[in-house]
């Protein structure tokens, strides 16, 4: 998208434009000039590698980063590339530790290739302590920027070329969103689409509102225009992305609800499947349930983070719903869409969590019977209210609860998620199967994986597949023949 802008027509000897995105195209053209010089000197183009940590938002951001680098003339490379850029996450401490681990490895690579540039961006860079630690202990890093200015990559990389010292540009916040920049999609047939940025909820354990800033919704016209362009480019499935999509559009000059947006996206020709992520239970309206029920393209899958089943803990988490309200909500959703697949996020070991509180979580899991659940051990994030709470739960107790929860979640999931066995379902084919030659892999509307015999020509197509063999968390299938019955599923 926007890849058609001709960089060679930009006058790179003039002053850089002040307005965006023109300024960034100017710097992409400047970088391209440098790429040409590099190529003359080394007989090859420089390579760049972006590596993503964390969530779908980061994955989408990385597609934008990669788009900019390819526009600037880089070739795609691996971890030994001339420019390695990590798009970091900081939602739990292990995400940070992973980055530090990788940096050690990069230092060794940089010794072998002194021209190598190393960049870090994303959520972790919004934390002053992390930036300080990198300055102190990882001085070989060349570039640091945050979540609010990823659109500036070309300009910052260009600055880096001229300077020996680390370039650091981290913004506290922004009300600016620069969208009209290139993006290199990982998949030709599906794409994330940002509908909003930031989060205003301040759940007491969560660092996201501090590193991603206040909630900002994109205007529906802009979102729809992007989705139409994606559809024209062959995209069949879109994932609408936001930290809390249920509060989409409330603060726009002309407010629009998420349900209305969903109905409008449903009308875009060429798009066959719509997903979205993430829903906050406190904002999930009946209007949205009705829109999901009515819109044929909206997948029958809802990710509805529970976090804890204890109303007492939920209150301290600042989630603003009770156990009963959550259960009542899932009942309403299932009444409207009996075949919906529900998934969730659960945190174990939040400060002050007692065995009784934990039993409430297990109770909700037993009652809702999730198709799958992401389970997390509570991680203390500096600067969040929960980090200052006194009664942190001892590690061995948390580990024991975590194991018990995981066992229950997996048992239920393997029972529930195989309910479509022996039926024919539509599958979006995503890739060749890594493990079994002659097989391809795809996803059902409810996101489950199916592996079946087929060749690469199927990739990107939606085809009917008979789910022959349930395997607990995935199916083995075969392309359905006319004789197989087609179910009405999405």
Closest CB to ligand SF4 among 26 and 205? 205
120, 95 Cβ separation under 8 angstroms: no
- Count the residues of the shown chain that bind ligand 5AD, applying the rule CB under 6 A: 12
474, 440 Cβ separation under 8 angstroms: no
Q: Does 381 bind ligand 5AD (CB under 6 A)?
A: yes
Query: Could you tell me if residue 368 is left (phi over 0), alpha (psi between -120 and 50 degrees) or otherwise beta?
Result: alpha
Residues 206-245, interacting with ligand 5AD (CB under 6 A): 206
Closest CB to ligand SF4 among 20 and 283? 283
DSSP letter (8 states) at residue 52: E
State how far the Cα of 462 lies from the Cα of 446, in Å rounded to an integer: 14
Q: Does 385 bind ligand SF4 (CB under 6 A)?
A: no
Core vs surface per residue 459-475: b (16+ CB within 10 A) or e:
bbebbbbbbebbeeebb
Stretch that binds ligand 5AD, among 102-110, 371-379, 435-443, 456-464 (CB under 6 A): 371-379
Decide which of ligand SF4, ligand 5AD, none touches 280; Cβ closer than 5 to 8 Å per partner kind. Answer: ligand SF4
CB-CB neighbours of 94 under 10 Å: 12
Closest CB to ligand 5AD among 300 and 303? 303
335, 364 Cβ separation under 8 angstroms: no
Closest CB to ligand 5AD among 147 and 441? 147
Decide which of ligand SF4, ligand 5AD, none touches 378; Cβ closer than 5 to 8 Å per partner kind. Answer: ligand 5AD
Q: 3-state DSSP call for residue 114?
A: coil
Residue 362: CB minimum distance to ligand SF4, A: 21
- Residue of 31, 126, 129, 46 lying closest to 87 (CA atoms): 126
State how far the Cα of 345 lies from the Cα of 373, in Å rounded to an integer: 6
Residues 123-152, interacting with ligand 5AD (CB under 6 A): none
Residue in 30, 60, 66, 92 binding ligand 5AD, rule: CB under 6 A:
92
Closest CB to ligand SF4 among 31 and 207? 207
- What pairing do the DSSP bridges indicate for beta strands 143-145 and 167-169? parallel
Whole-number CA gyration radius for the chain: 24
Q: Does 473 bind ligand 5AD (CB under 6 A)?
A: no
Q: Does 205 bind ligand 5AD (CB under 6 A)?
A: yes
Closest CB to ligand SF4 among 199 and 368? 199
Closest CB to ligand SF4 among 96 and 243? 243
State how far the Cα of 313 lies from the Cα of 242, in Å rounded to an integer: 25
Q: Which residues face 465 on adjacent strands?
A: 425, 479
Give the contact letters, 191-220, x = binds to ligand SF4 (CB under 6 A), - = no: --------x-xxx--x-xx-----------
Helix (H) or strand (E) holding 118, with range, is strand 117-122
47, 85 Cβ separation under 8 angstroms: no
Decide which of ligand 5AD, ligand SF4, none touches 209; Cβ closer than 5 to 8 Å per partner kind. Answer: ligand SF4
Footprint of ligand SF4 (CB under 6 A): 199, 201-203, 206, 208-209, 243-244, 280
Footprint of ligand 5AD (CB under 6 A): 91-92, 205-206, 305, 307, 345, 347, 376, 378-379, 381
């Amino acid at each position: 998208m926007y890849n058609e802008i001709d960089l060679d027509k930009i006058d790179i000897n003039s002053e850089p434009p002040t307005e965006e995105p023109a300024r960034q195209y100017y710097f992409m053209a400047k970088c391209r000039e440098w790429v040409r010089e590099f190529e003359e000197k080394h007989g090859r183009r420089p390579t760049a590698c972006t590596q993503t940590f964390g969530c779908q938002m980061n994955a989408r951001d990385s597609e934008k980063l990669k788009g900019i680098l390819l526009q600037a003339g880089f070739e795609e490379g691996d971890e030994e590339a001339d420019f390695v850029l990590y798009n970091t996450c900081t939602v739990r401490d292990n995400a940070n530790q992973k980055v530090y681990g990788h940096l050690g490895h990069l230092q060794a690579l940089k010794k072998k290739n002194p021209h190598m540039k190393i960049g870090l961006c994303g959520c972790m860079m919004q934390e002053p302590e992390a930036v300080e630690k990198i300055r102190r202990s990882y001085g070989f890093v060349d570039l640091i920027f945050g979540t609010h200015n990823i659109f500036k990559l070309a300009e910052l990389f260009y600055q880096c070329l001229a300077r020996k010292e680390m370039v650091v540009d981290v913004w506290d916040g922004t009300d600016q969103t620069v969208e009209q920049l290139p993006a290199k999609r990982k998949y030709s047939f599906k794409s994330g689409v940002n509908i909003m940025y930031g989060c205003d909820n301040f759940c007491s354990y969560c660092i996201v509102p501090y590193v991603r800033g206040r909630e900002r919704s994109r205007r529906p016209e802009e979102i729809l225009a992007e989705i139409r362009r994606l559809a024209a480019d062959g995209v069949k499935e879109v994932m609408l992305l936001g930290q809390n999509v249920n509060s989409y559009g409330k603060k726009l000059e002309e407010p629009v609800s998420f349900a209305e947006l969903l109905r409008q996206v449903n009308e875009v020709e060429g798009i066959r499947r719509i997903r979205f992520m993430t829903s906050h239970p406190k904002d999930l309206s009946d209007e949205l349930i009705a829109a999901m029920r009515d819109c044929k393209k909206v997948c029958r899958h809802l990710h509805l983070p529970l976090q804890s089943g204890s109303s007492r803990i939920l209150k301290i988490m600042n989630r603003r719903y009770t156990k009963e309200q959550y259960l009542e909500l899932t009942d309403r959703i299932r009444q409207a869409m009996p075949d919906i697949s529900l998934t969730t996020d659960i945190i174990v070991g939040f400060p002050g969590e007692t065995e009784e509180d934990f039993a409430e979580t297990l109770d909700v899991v037993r009652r809702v019977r999730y198709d799958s659940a992401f389970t997390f051990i509570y991680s203390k994030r500096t600067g969040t209210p929960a980090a200052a709470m006194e009664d942190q739960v001892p590690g061995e107790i948390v580990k024991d609860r975590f194991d018990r929860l995981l066992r229950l979640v997996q048992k239920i999931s393997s029972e529930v998620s195989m309910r479509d066995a022996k039926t024919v379902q539509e599958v979006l084919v995503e890739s060749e199967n890594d493990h079994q030659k002659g097989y391809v892999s795809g996803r059902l509307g409810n996101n489950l994986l199916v592996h079946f015999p087929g060749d690469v020509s199927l990739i990107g197509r939606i085809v009917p597949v008979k789910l022959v063999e349930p395997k607990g968390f995935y199916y083995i299938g075969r392309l359905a023949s006319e004789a197989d019955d087609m179910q009405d599923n999405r």
